[in-house]
Amino acid sequence: MKSLDALDLTFTTLSVDGDGIATLSLNRPDKRNALNEATVDELIDIFTVIPRAGVRAVVLRAEGTHFCAGLDLVEHHQEDRRPEDFMHVCLRWHEAFNKMEYGGVPVIAALKGAVVGGGLELASSAHVRVADATTYFALPEGQRGLFTGGGATIRVADLVGKARMIDMMLTGRVYQGDEAISVGLAQYLVEDSEAKAYALARAAASNPPLSNFAICSAISHMQNMSALDAAYAESVVAGIVNTQPASRARLAAFADKTAARVRPNA
């Protein structure tokens, strides 16, 4: 397996701080961080390595003023792809985004500007989405004469529901601000989405890694199962996670009343 340092990245950048918080930046601001084939290849490499590299949480951010403009439409136009070519493009997107969603390491997306088309597919593969006042969400596929190919039919429909997704694709409807939060496109709307994303990443990183692994993989897997199978899988996962040595000190602190209690927001 390649180490993080050995990854040869051109369209993204990656760094990890001393607390195991990784910063992954989309780095094509001149092209509004449109996802070309090379970027998706890098995402596959990165999310292949991250789960086994001691990374405790990832902040996914972007250079420039837009998070991501989706599929690189110019590359797609110039490549003049055949159906089977684009099917393989989509399979690479799915590989990258599935590694993100099912990898077991929390990914917090710091959003701004356009989060559109494939950019929304990328953002919806993160575990937490943080928006700011500039952030807007759209699926302009219909207007471009395209269809989603990076998992929107699964993840965006899951976030906002089938009817809203169809409306977005048919009519070009844009969601932003409180409305975007209320329909489920992001969980937070704040002034500084990056600062909030790092705060959330630090909070998540303070959990035992095995708990985070379960939260950031088991829930997604269980969504794909029947209720009967999901209940079985949940009990197996809980059997392992809820008896882990790393939780003993936390449980002891609760029992002897030294652990913080859960209180309402101030």
Residues that bind ligand 1HE (CB under 6 A): 30-32, 34, 66, 69-74, 90, 93, 114, 116-118, 140-141, 144, 146, 148-150
User: Least Å distance between CB 39 and ligand 1HE?
Assistant: 11
Task: Count other Cβ atoms within 10 Å, centred on residue 217.
Answer: 18
Q: How far apart are CA 146 and CA 225, in angstroms?
A: 30
Residue 79 annotated among the catalytic residues of the structure:
no
Catalytic residue, chosen from 121, 179, 191, 194, is: 121
Q: How far apart are CA 28 and CA 41, in angstroms?
A: 14
Residue 84 annotated among the catalytic residues of the structure:
no
Nearer to ligand 1HE, 91 or 259 (CB): 91
Count, in order, helices (H) and strands (E) of the chain.
13, 9
Q: Is the dihedral of CA 150, 151, 157, 158 positive or negative?
A: negative
Residue nearest to ligand 1HE (CB): 117
User: Least Å distance between CB 40 and ligand 1HE?
Assistant: 9
Catalytic residue, chosen from 42, 101, 141, 194, is: 141
User: Least Å distance between CB 65 and ligand 1HE?
Assistant: 7
Long-range CB contacts (within 8 A, 24+) of 43-48: 43/12, 43/96, 43/97, 43/99, 43/100, 44/92, 44/95, 44/96, 44/99, 45/2, 45/7, 45/9, 46/4, 46/7, 46/9, 46/12, 46/14, 47/96, 47/99, 47/100, 47/103, 48/1, 48/2, 48/99
User: Least Å distance between CB 167 and ligand 1HE?
Assistant: 16
H or E stretch covering 15:
strand 12-16
User: Least Å distance between CB 20 and ligand 1HE?
Assistant: 31
Nearer to ligand 1HE, 39 or 212 (CB): 39
Catalytic residues: 121, 141
